[in-house]
Structures are given as C-alpha cells and as structure tokens.
Chains A and B, each alone.
Chain A
Amino acid sequence: MKRVGIIGTGQTNHTRMRNDVNQAELVREASALALADADLDPHEIDAVVISNMELFEGRAYPELWVGEGAFAAGKPCMKIATGGTSGTSSCIAGYHQVASGLFDTILVVGFEKHSEGHTQAGMALVDPFWDRAVASGALGNFALSISQYMAERGVTEEHAAKIAVKARRNGSRNPHAHLQDAEATIDKVLGSKMLAHPVRLLDMCPQSDGACAIVLASEDRANSLCERPAWIAAAATRHQQPYIGDIDRRLITMETLRDAAREVYAKAGINNPLKDFDVAEIYEPTTYTELAWYEALGFCAEGEAGALIDSGETEIGGELPVNPSGGVLCANPVGATGVIRVAEAAKQILGRAGDYQIDNVTTALATGYGVYAWADAMVLRGTA
C-alpha cells in the first residue's frame, strides 16, 4: 500500500442559497481553489470522486452534470452517495485509489445545493413498506434517540447549549461558515424555538449551499508539491443494518462510529485520543450528537461527555479542540460536509486554517456520520 497525503483544499463560502451560480459552477469554485492550493493544473489530476446526495436536488447523474466543473471530462470519475458520510467516504475512496498505486493524484469534491430541492422529501424516500408510514425526517430521528441518551448518561440541555455556543463562536472565525455568532450564549440557545423535544433550533445544523474539494497525492508527488502534507495514517468505514430500530440504544452506543474509530486508532497507534490528537473535526449534526460522539470516540469515558464540555478542553486552546472551524453546526451542504471535515483537519496540519489555526498540529481526526447506519473515521498526520 502506498503512502497518501492531502496537499490542497478548497471550499466555497457556505450559505443558505447560492443563487448566483448553478451546481457545476459551485463545484468548479471549490475544485479550482483546491487545485490552486495544491499548485496543480487540471491536466495533472488522474481521476475524480464526486460526493452528492442527488435526491435532495432531484437532479440525476450529478457526476455527469457537474463533472466538467470538477475537471473530470475524459477521466475516471465516480460518485458516492451515502447520506452524511458521502463526503468522508469519497475521501476514503480517493485514498484507496492512490494507496493502491494505480493513481497518483486524485481530486475529491463534494457539494450540495439544498436550496434547489427538497431535502425533507429526499429523507422521506425510505423503505416504502416500513419507514415511510412513520418517518420523522432527520430531526425526529435524532430527537428520538436523544431522550434515551439523556436518560441513561445524565446529559442536560445546558450541556448541549454549551456545544452550540462553542460551535457558533468558532464559526465566527471561519469566513466559510454559514452560521456565525461571536456573541452566542447559553441563554440564546435555550431561548430558541423547540423543534422536536428536546432539540431547539440552535441545537441543529443548518442546510447550506456549498462545495468543498481536496487533492490527494502519492508520496513522491506529495513531497515534491507540498512542504508538509497531511498524510493519511489510517481510514475506516462502517455500515450497519438498515432499519431505525436495528441498532440498540443507537445514539448511546453509536456502534458504527465507535468501531471505525477503534480500527483507525489501532492502525495509527492512538492510545489516548484526548491527548494524542491535536485537533478533531467531527460530524456533529446536532449539539447532543457531539456529546455522544465524545464518548463513542473515546475522548472521555461513558457518561462523562457533559463533564468534558464543562471542562472547556474541547474549546480552541483546550487539550483537544473539537471543530475549531465551527463544524456541521455552522455549515452543512450535506454532500460536501464530510469533505469539509477532512479538509479542515488537513488545513490544521498544512498550517492553513487562518483565524482558527491551532498551534503545532501533528495528529488530527476527521469523522463522518450518516443516520447511524454509516460512519467513517480518518487519522491525519504531519511530519513532526
């Protein structure tokens, strides 16, 4: 297996509606920025991976329609669509392509233009015999498991509100973030509209229009093009059984994420995630899920997530800053969101994270999440 490094990233500013461009133009914007960041010309890209949840826009074959925007014409190109994990799975697919030795340079680009379609309808198109009669969308799905998680692990609405405050304050340092609020407070979060008990408006991620791209390169290419590439130390992906009721206590156990994390930790020699990682960019669609992921990812013991956010150790300046970019709570163009996690983790190693750059980042974690049924984890390392 060949060593693979991330040598460039690019993303649009994520916002509620990009009605000044079409999908292909949105994709071109991020792709061109990533190539410029990697100092590459389009002809130097061997193959392209595209991430998009096409049901949300109702536009078939996005890999064909936006391919030119991703510099894919005349090249191998494929699309990955696995809900929230689409982006991280696309990065992992690109990693596999280069690690195999068959390709040297891969562009991965994810996008979503939620404003053009109907995300809720896309989410509702589940098993026609079972789930459709009782679907409650992503929101209801989350809220259901949260009551169970709170009851078992002692997490409170205030703990969740602290996650929202951290996210929106961090987001205010990130020019790409859709939601930014340097003045976020716990009271503001607890005073926001209740959407699905106990989830409030400010506990949720937005739906954004946006795109994000990364460039992956083989060891020789990466070293010749980049001073300090973000090397992929390990990557893992997990799928689970299909129905909502299949995974017991699903938010509490979060089996898929826990198992993907265990695999990459073993491969990359991570023994104490809170200390061994310098930064983490995790896929937290709600405040409560960030708390649950702290436990699933081993940042703290089971039942200690509330204490961890209280301690401030996941803030910028803490032991392990989690989502210094603002995370999914600040920008969520679904097909791009997982690519953003990988790009933001890589930027911290590349030293290109601007106002939310963490000092001396050598080891970073990026994760993806898709409706409990899918999870991805990736460990990135810079040369010490």
Chain B
Amino acid sequence: MSELRTITHEMDLRWEYASGSAMEKFCAGLLERRIEALKCPDCARRYLPPRPFCGKCNTRLSEWVPVADEGVLEAWTVMYLPIVDGRSGEMREAPYGMGLIRLDGADTTLNHYLVENDPANLKVGQRVKAVWRDDLQGAMDDILHFEVLK
C-alpha cells in the first residue's frame, strides 16, 4: 500500500440559526435568570428545552411553567479528554464534571457542567444548584455550571 498525497482545507464560515417560538421566550427568560418549561396539555410532561410540540402526544405546547435553578443530579461523569466546545469551537480544558440534572419543576433532564471534578465527591441523587454568569447573554451558557449543595 503506498501513501497518497493529501490536500488540507481549513474554513472559517458563519452560520445563523433562528431560535423558534419556544426557545425565543426561554432565552428571554434567561436574561432575568428565569427558567421556564413548556407543559404538555395531554401527558402533563414539563419539557426542557421547551419546544413547540410534544413528540409523545403530538400536541402543540403553550402552557409555560416555572422551573427552579436547582435540582437533582441524575447522572454524572468526569471528562479527562478535552472536547470541542460546539459554540466557540475552542477546546474545553479537562478534567471537568458533567451531569444530567433534573431541575425542580421539569420532567426532562438538563445536560450541563459541574464545578466538582473529583469522582469521589459525585453521587447520583445529590442536590445541585446553577451558578450564573454576571453578564447574562440570553443563552444556555448564562449558567456557567452547577455546584453540589452541601
């Protein structure tokens, strides 16, 4: 097998995505440190991220319900490999904790970073609370990470 010549491409491109009706209101809420979910009129499931439809019932969602910025750690990991941040394109430095968090008032779980990065200190079922950034942007990373409540 002989090696072929290769050609290298680097591109600096720009995408611009629309939020949609549900995410628009959700992001506006974040600017005031407010988290809200959309509730299905049929199955009563409270969705985060809020979205226009319930895929289980095929209903249109319009009832907003308040959600706390703290909840239960349902699952966790500590990442030892740096991973590309999908928003900035930069590598996120390891190690860092990640969790699936069920915020009080929501039925789905939220995938987010944890301050804690020692496996010995993390347990399924722990209470965690959001740490907000000072300069709110109306985006998911207005929550920097979650801290374990003692």
Residue ranges of A at the interface with B (Cβ–Cβ < 8 Å): 19-22, 58, 120-121, 124-137, 139-140, 143-148, 151, 193-199, 240-246, 248-249
Contact = CB atoms under 8 A, between A and B. Distances in A.
24 contacts: A20-B2, A120-B84, A127-B49, A128-B15, A130-B140, A131-B86, A132-B86, A133-B139, A133-B140, A133-B141, A134-B140, A135-B85, A136-B111, A139-B79, A144-B77, A146-B77, A147-B76, A148-B75, A148-B100, A148-B124, A197-B77, A199-B77, A244-B109, A245-B111
Contacts of A143: 77, 79, 98
A170 to B, nearest CB: 26
Interface string B126-150: 0000000000000111000000000
Interface in B103-130: 108-113, 119, 122, 124
B98 A144 contact: yes
Contact of A195 (B2, B48, B80, B98): B80
A195 B80 CA distance: 5
B83 interface: yes
Nearest to A18: B1
Contacts of B2: 20
A145 B76 CA distance: 7
A216 B9 CA distance: 38
Given A144-B98, A241-B55, A243-B49, A129 B77 contact: no
A126 B17 CA distance: 12
Contact of B84 (A124, A193, A199, A249): A124
Interface string B66-99: 0000000011111111011111000000000011
A329 B19 CA distance: 38
Contacts of B110: 245
Given A130-B23, A198-B119, 17 more contacts: A20-B1, A20-B2, A124-B83, A124-B84, A130-B140, A134-B111, A134-B141, A135-B84, A135-B86, A136-B77, A140-B77, A144-B98, A144-B99, A145-B100, A193-B80, A195-B79, A248-B109
A131 B17 contact: no
Nearest to B22: A129
Nearest to B20: A129
A196 B140 contact: no
B27 interface: yes
Nearest to B3: A19
A199 B80 CA distance: 10
Given A134-B111, A139-B81, A144 B87 contact: no
Interface centre among A58, A127, A143, A197 (most CB of B within 10 A): A197
B43 interface: no
Nearest to B83: A137
B79 A196 contact: yes
A139 B111 CA distance: 14
B115 to A, nearest CB: 14
Nearest to A244: B111
Contact of A135 (B6, B75, B83): B83
B111 A20 contact: no
B108 A243 contact: yes
A148 B111 CA distance: 14
A22 B4 contact: yes
A145 B74 CA distance: 9
Contacts of A137: 83-84
B100 A245 contact: yes
Contacts of A145: 75, 100
A144 B109 CA distance: 12
A124 B100 contact: no
B3 A147 contact: no
Contact of A140 (B4, B56, B79, B109): B79
Interface centre among B75, B80, B85, B100 (most CB of A within 10 A): B75
Nearest to B76: A147
Contacts of B111: 131, 134, 136, 144, 244-245
A128 B141 CA distance: 12
Nearest to B15: A128
A285 to B, nearest CB: 15
Nearest to B139: A133
Contacts of A243: 49, 108
Contacts of B55: 240-242, 246
B4 A21 contact: yes
A19 B83 contact: no
